[in-house]
Amino acid sequence: MEKLIINKATSKLELEYPCPWVYKVVGKEQELIRQAIADVFQARECLVTLSNSSRTGKYHCLNVEIVVRDEEDRMVNYEALKKHPAVTMIL
């Protein structure tokens, strides 16, 4: 089970790794977002599910559930998703 601690002195998120993590990936075309996720995570096991779509269908949000190995792994994944042209935003 993951342990989440917010250090009040530094307001820094402290996690015990490895732990499950969810990236919320937002973009305009669901299939292109899925391809971006495949490009970033390659052969790593992850669960991708539709989180939400805008009322007009212009934006889609997919959840990517994966076990991150450490802080560096978590941030490298975040940055790679953020830089992908199919991705509008990461939450």
Looking up residue 22, the CATH number of its domain turns out to be 3.30.70.260
Domain membership of residue 6 (yes or no) is: no
What's the CA gap between 26 and 45, in Å, rounded?
Answer: 20
* CA–CA separation, 37 and 24 (whole Å): 11
User: What is the span of the domain harbouring residue 84?
Assistant: 17-90
Residue 57 to residue 46: CA distance in whole angstroms? 25
* Tens-place pLDDT, residues 33-64: 999 999 999 999 999 999 999 999 999 999 99
How many angstroms separate the CA atoms of 77 and 56, rounded?
29
Distance CA 84, CA 80 (A): 6
Predicted TM-score (pTM) above 0.85: no
Structural domain contains residue 2: no
pLDDT in tens, 69-90: 999 999 999 999 999 999 999 9
Q: How many domains does the chain have?
A: 1
Q: What is the pLDDT of residues 9-34, one digit of tens each?
A: 666 778 999 999 999 999 999 999 99
40 lies in some domain? yes
Residue 1 within a domain:
no
Instruction: Please indicate, yes or no, if residue 33 is contained in any of the structural domains.
Output: yes
